[in-house]
Amino acid sequence: MIERYDLSGPRYTSYPTAPQFHDGCGEGVLRQAIARSNAAGRPLSLYFHIPFCSIVCYYCACNKIITANRKRAMPYLERLIVEVAQRGALFDHSRPVHQLHWGGGTPTYISDDEKRLLMAATRKHFNLLEDDSGEYSIEIHPGDMAVSTIACLRELGFNRLSMGIQDFDPVVQ
């Protein structure tokens, strides 16, 4: 059984999964899919990948950049904000975002001001809910963030935190 299943496969957190991409999956296909989505008019779900971490978690298989140099995040965020504007222009702005998730990496790696910058750009280009009825979640590393960050996340509209726990044994922790 080990020989049969000891191979690389698509990450369950990636959607669409890697095998669904091919040379015929270009800009036209994307625009057609977005047009169909806009015609359906259902609420949106957004995911932002913030790949930075200050320390490596050896169990993690996510696309990540381990660095203590926090200045490396801003060029990435600037490009991400351009992408948010480009993609946001394709979606009907009246469609509410019912789900928003920042994953990574460790999204709380970026500064509170950088978090505010990314959320402001998201609000500008997408219809984020202001009444706390959406599910807005963020992955955190509690050992690598200030307690004050919780207040900032709440201010930005996050109402759910996600933490990966690999072991409850205090010696391991």
Q: How many CB atoms lie within 10 A of CB 154?
A: 12
How would you write 75-91 as a 3-class SS string?
A: HHHHHHHHHHHHHHCCC
DSSP annotation of 132 reads S
Which carries the bigger pLDDT value, residue 103 or residue 24?
103
The pTM (predicted TM-score) of the whole model is 0.85
In a domain, 88, yes or no: yes
Asked whether residue 27 is assigned to any structural domain, the reply reads no
The whole-angstrom separation of Cα 35 and Cα 38 is 5
Residue 138, exposed/middle/buried by CB under 10 A (0-12, 13-18, 19+)?
A: buried
Q: Is residue 96 part of a domain?
A: yes
Q: How many domains does the chain have?
A: 1
pLDDT at residue 60, rounded to an integer = 74
Q: What is the pLDDT of residues 119-142, one digit of tens each?
A: 999 999 999 999 999 999 999 988
Percent of the chain having pLDDT more than 70?
90
> What's the domain range around 59?
49-164
Mean pLDDT of 6-18: 60
- For residue 39, the one-letter residue type is A
Q: State pLDDT tens for residues 51-102.
A: 998 888 777 777 888 888 989 999 999 999 999 999 999 999 999 999 999 9
CA 152 centroid distance within chain: 17
134 located within any domain: yes
Burial annotation 14-36 (CB, 10 A radius, 16+ → b, else e): eeeeeeeeeeeeeeeeeeeeeee
Q: Which helix (H) or strand (E) holds 29?
A: helix 27-40
Q: Is residue 12 part of a domain?
A: no
Whether 73 is in a domain gets the answer: yes
